[in-house]
């Protein structure tokens, strides 16, 4: 009979033992899930508008009076609102954002976060061809290499990259195996798809998140334009129209394949000129140049140029131009 | 039926069927923006000849040759002159701004000269020969009584350079994954480090002093984001200017930048101590702008009033878009812009303005026409001060 009483005691005490191991019954509700302030975007940049929301999985907010204050100033329009719209201060501003919750029974709880915006800049440097005189940036094309750099600026200087840990992902794939201390620069190949997504997260060396950004990048097909080249003045930086009339007897042309992988540009598998659909050996050491001379009384000539890699066939472009001498 | 629709459309757009109205005068160029000041030369046809004449007198084409670099030189002996380096030959010429006489001051040939800078005292030049991986750089010194340059090659991998007011050159060279900025003193042949830029694909708008502020941004493209930094005494400041297709020009007081907003190319001005930008009354490409030396809130810009093409500034860089600029004076404090001259109506020539440069006292605004690389000058008076 005695064991019945033992079982009864065990059954009655078991929940208390479990609750004690978890920090008491309060731990299942408000204890471990205190209200927090969630920001959208998560890391507002200096001067950027953001939304702050009290997130609460307990019952603390229910029926509570909410008073927001930002950098010590009460936000009147935020009275009893779960969310407020704010503007981040200048870099290094360090503004305190507080939501004061007063429950119906008069208990006061302060929920606080600090807004300390920094500039999070991702600089994309595609390793594709643009002309030497071109003042714009090259753009990625499939399989070409991209160098990416993240720069964090706190209003006084760039943050020391060696004091941070960087995790890069391109289309959800980790770059260089995962998190890297001091890894604020990475290189990777342009993946398939027209708009790959690059994500970088930055933490300090203890794992506290300090920045995160995602950007989309273009992935273009190379483009080809023909430019007139003068032996003395170099390349004239206005491209020739698809149908061009030449006054003189000689025309030097340069084919400029924009956004072609520089490795392919330097060692193309195919770099071929055709005149009226007949392959032509230019005799030049530069495969991208050709010199045309008027023959007889002149006429119309269809000039084509084709450059391509045979390993990555999308790394290539061909274009044509009609020339009237 | 078609005839009736045609008459209705004509009356709708012109408001009259009078013979005196031009069919093409739809007045699309009118603006209600109070910040845009159209001078009477454009708004009042009665005054047009006089104002045009004044504009003609102020605007001058200085060369018919292609120019690789230029500077205004002011010496006690020879007065105010412009030195320019001829593209392709590297020959250096002087133009007397009073008499307009031209003289060759250096006959030393630097083949394939493509870019150059001249110190304000007219003693030294830095010339780039050829481009890309074949580029070579030489510092030349001009001596009185000789038309020969004494040259010193610079072995650094230079990506950008300019002359400074103290008669040195400031240069950016590749260093690791970024750029190092140095001052080269031609007299001592010394290179003095200034600061570094943590990426290579940088466009630099040099200040006329070595200390700056120099405006730096990733080379612009409408498909990638750019940011504006300025370097003053080697200290970098990140300005609150971000955007696709971003390029910028700046002073110690303000930054003018353009970026693609939605699908529209838009220009903003930003006081350097502020976070909020203002839209400028005129959309422009910042490469066509320069802040004056006497007022760090006044800039002179080339601008085309037409709607900018899609995906600017890429097609302009590629040369697929050629612009027909007018010269504007823009004040970042008052947010107002004043049309100085429209070269096409003043001279009959269309100008696609590049490489703006001011003389030491802001009296002359120099620029090149991108189409033919010729050198032009506008006699400038600051109307905001």
- Give chain A positions within 8 Å (CB) of B216: none
Please state, in angstroms and rounded to a whole number, the distance separating the CA atoms of residues B135 and A292: 26
Q: Is A57 near chain B, with CB under 8 Å?
A: no
Does residue A157 sit at the B interface (CB-CB below 8 Å)?
A: yes
Q: Say yes or no to pLDDT of B4 above 80.
A: no
Q: Which of B87, B313, B314 sits opposite A233 (nearest CB)?
A: B87
* Alpha-carbon gap: A156 to the closest alpha carbon of chain B (Å): 7
Contacting residues of A for B371, CB less than 8 Å apart: 238
Least Cα separation, residue A275 to chain B (angstroms): 24
Q: Is the per-residue pLDDT at B37 higher than 70?
A: no
What is the C-alpha separation between B175 and B195, in angstroms, rounded?
11
Interval B229-251 mean pLDDT: 96
The C-alpha atoms of residue B375 and residue B61 are separated, in whole angstroms, by 6
Domains delineated in chain A? 34-115 (2.60.40.10), 119-216 (2.60.40), 223-324 (2.60.40)
The nearest CA of chain A is from the CA of B207 a distance in Å of 18
DSSP annotation of A47 reads T
Q: What's the burial of A5, exposed, middle or buried (CB within 10 Å: 0-12/13-18/19+)?
A: exposed
Residue among A116, A113, A110 nearest A67 (CA): A110
Q: Is the pLDDT of residue B20 over 80?
A: no
pLDDT, residue B383, reads 65
Does B238 sit within 8 Å of A153, measured CB to CB?
Answer: yes
pLDDT for position A32: 56
Peptide bond into B213 cis (omega under 30): yes
Place domain B66-199 in its CATH homologous superfamily.
Answer: YVTN repeat-like/Quinoprotein amine dehydrogenase (2.130.10.10)
In this predicted model, what pLDDT tens digit does every residue of B149-208 receive, in sequence order? 999 999 999 999 999 999 999 999 999 999 999 999 999 999 999 999 999 999 999 999
Tell me the chain B residues in contact with residue A44 when contact means C-beta distances shorter than 8 Å: none
| A&B contacts, CB < 8 Å | 108
The reply to whether residue A238 touches residue B287, judged by beta carbons under 8 angstroms, is no
Query: Per-residue pLDDT tens for B264-316?
Result: 999 999 999 999 999 999 999 999 999 999 999 999 999 998 888 878 999 99
Q: Are B203 and A157 inside 8 Å of each other by CB?
A: no
- Chain B hits for A158, CB-CB cut-off 8 Å, are 198, 236
3-state SS of chain B is CHHHHHHHHHHHHHCCCCCCCCCCCCCCCCCCCCCEECCHHHHCHHHHHHHHHHHHHHEEECCCCCEEEEEEEEECCCEEEEEEEECCCCCEEEEECCCCCEEEEECCCCCCEEEEEECCCCCEEEEEECCHHHCEEEEEEECCCCCCEEEEEECCCEEEEEECCCCCEEEEEEECCEEEEEEEECCCCEEEEEEEECCCCEEEECCCCCCCCEEEEECCCCCCEEEEEEEECCEEEEEEEEEEEEEEEECCCEEEEEEEECCEEEEEEEECCCCCCEECCCCCCHHHEEECCCCCCEEEEEECCCCCCCCCCHHHHHCCCCCCCEEEEEECCCCEEEEEECHHHHHCCCCCEEEEEECCCCCEEEEEECCCCCEEEEECCCCCC
pLDDT < 50 stretches in chain A: 1, 7-31
Is A287 an interface residue toward B (CB < 8 Å)? no
- The per-residue pLDDT for range B92-130, each reduced to its tens digit, is 999 999 888 999 999 999 999 999 999 999 999 999 999
Closest C-alpha among B218, B343, B367, B236 to residue B290: B367
The whole-angstrom separation of Cα A318 and Cα B7 is: 49
Tokens for A74, please give them. 């009460």
pLDDT given at position A8: 47
Residues of A in contact with B227 (CB under 8 A): 119, 121, 123, 151
Name residues 192-221 of chain B within 8 A of A (Cβ).
198-201, 203, 218-221
Instruction: Quote the tokens at residue B298.
Output: 């006044």
* Cross-chain CB nearest to B66 (options A147, A227, A233): A233
User: How far off is chain B from A161, nearest CA to CA, in Å?
Assistant: 11
What HEC string does A102-122 produce?
ECCCCCEEEEEEEECCCEEEE
pLDDT of residue A2: 52
Digit-coded pLDDT (tens) for B350-381: 999 999 999 999 999 999 999 999 999 999 98
Domains of chain B, residue spans: 33-62+201-385, 66-199
Q: B288 CB near a chain A CB, below 8 Å?
A: no
Distance (Å) from the C-alpha of residue A163 to the closest C-alpha of chain B? 16
3-state secondary structure A257-303: EECCEHHHHHCCCEEEEEECCEEECCCCCCCCEEEEECCCCCCEEEE
As given in the structure block, the two tokens for residue A233 are 């003045």
Which chain A residue is nearest to residue B276, measuring alpha carbons?
A47
pLDDT value of position A246: 83
Give me the CATH topology for the region B33-62+201-385: Neuraminidase (2.120.10)
Please tell me the distance in Å from B243's CA to the nearest CA on chain A. 11
Give the largest CA-CA distance in chain A. 124
Predicted confidence at residue B56, as pLDDT, reads 61
Could you tell me the pLDDT band of residue B232, with boundaries at 50, 70 and 90? Answer: very high
């Amino acid at each position: 009979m005695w064991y019945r009483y033992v079982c009864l005691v065990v059954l009655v005490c078991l929940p208390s033992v479990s609750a004690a191991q978890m920090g008491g019954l309060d731990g299942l509700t408000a204890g471990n899930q205190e209200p927090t302030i969630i920001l959208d975007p998560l890391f507002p940049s200096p001067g950027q508008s953001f939304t702050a929301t009290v997130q609460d999985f307990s019952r603390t907010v229910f029926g509570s009076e909410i008073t927001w204050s930002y950098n010590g100033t009460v936000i009147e329009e935020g009275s009893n609102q779960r969310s407020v719209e704010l503007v981040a201060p200048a870099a290094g501003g360090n503004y305190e954002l507080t939501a004061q919750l007063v429950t119906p029974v008069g208990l006061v709880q302060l929920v606080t976060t600090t807004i300390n915006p920094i500039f999070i800049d991702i600089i994309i440097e595609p390793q594709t061809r643009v002309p030497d005189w071109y003042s714009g940036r090259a753009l990625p094309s499939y399989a070409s290499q991209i160098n990416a750099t993240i720069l964090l600026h706190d209003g006084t200087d760039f943050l020391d990259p060696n004091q941070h840990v960087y995790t890069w992902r391109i289309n959800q794939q980790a770059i260089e195996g995962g998190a890297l201390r001091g890894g604020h620069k990475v290189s990777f190949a342009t993946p398939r798809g027209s708009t790959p997504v690059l994500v970088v997260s930055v933490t300090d060396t203890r794992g506290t998140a300090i920045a995160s950004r995602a950007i989309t990048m273009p992935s273009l097909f190379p483009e080809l334009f023909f430019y007139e080249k003068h032996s003395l003045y170099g390349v004239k930086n206005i491209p020739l129209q698809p149908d061009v009339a030449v006054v003189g007897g000689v025309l030097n042309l340069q084919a400029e394949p924009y956004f072609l992988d520089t490795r392919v540009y330097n060692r193309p598998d195919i770099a071929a000129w055709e005149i009226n659909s007949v392959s032509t050996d230019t005799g030049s050491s530069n495969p991208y140049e050709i010199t045309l001379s008027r023959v007889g009384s002149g006429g119309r000539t269809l000039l084509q140029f084709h450059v391509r890699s045979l390993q990555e066939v999308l790394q290539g472009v061909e274009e044509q131009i009609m020339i009237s001498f | 039926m078609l005839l009736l629709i045609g008459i209705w459309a004509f009356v709708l757009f012109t408001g009259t069927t009078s013979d005196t109205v031009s069919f093409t005068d739809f007045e699309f160029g009118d603006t209600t923006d109070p910040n845009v000041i159209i001078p009477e030369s454009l708004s009042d046809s009665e005054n047009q000849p006089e104002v045009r004449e004044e504009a003609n007198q102020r605007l001058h084409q200085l060369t018919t040759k292609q120019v690789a670099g230029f500077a205004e030189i002011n010496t006690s002996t020879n007065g105010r002159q412009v030195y320019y380096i001829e593209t392709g030959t590297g020959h250096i010429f002087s133009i007397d701004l009073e008499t307009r006489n031209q003289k060759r001051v250096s006959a030393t040939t630097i083949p394939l000269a493509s870019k150059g800078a001249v110190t304000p005292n007219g003693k030294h030049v830095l010339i780039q020969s050829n481009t890309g991986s074949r580029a070579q750089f030489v510092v030349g010194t001009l001596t009185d009584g000789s038309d020969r340059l004494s040259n010193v090659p610079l072995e650094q991998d230079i990506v950008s350079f300019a002359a400074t007011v103290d008669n040195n050159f400031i240069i950016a060279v590749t260093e690791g994954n970024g750029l190092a900025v140095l001052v080269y003193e031609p007299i001592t042949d010394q290179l003095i480090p200034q600061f570094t830029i943590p990426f290579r694909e940088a466009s630099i708008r040099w200040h006329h002093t070595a200390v700056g502020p120099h405006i730096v941004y990733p080379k612009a493209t409408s498909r990638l984001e750019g940011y504006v930094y300025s370097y003053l005494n080697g200290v970098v400041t990140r300005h609150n200017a971000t955007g696709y297709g971003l390029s910028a020009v700046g002073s110690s007081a303000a930054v003018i930048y353009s970026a693609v907003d939605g699908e529209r190319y838009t220009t903003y001005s930003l006081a350097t101590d502020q976070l909020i930008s203002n839209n400028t009354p005129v959309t422009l490409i910042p490469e066509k702008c320069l802040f004056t030396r006497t007022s760090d809130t006044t800039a002179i810009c080339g601008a085309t009033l037409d709607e900018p093409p899609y995906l600017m500034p890429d097609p302009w860089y590629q040369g697929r878009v050629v612009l027909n600029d007018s010269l504007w004076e823009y004040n970042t404090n008052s947010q107002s812009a004043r049309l100085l001259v429209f070269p096409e109506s003043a001279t009959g020539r269309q100008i696609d303005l590049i490489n703006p440069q001011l003389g030491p006292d802001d009296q002359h605004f120099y620029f090149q026409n991108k189409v033919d690389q010729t050198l032009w000058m506008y006699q400038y008076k600051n109307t905001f001060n």
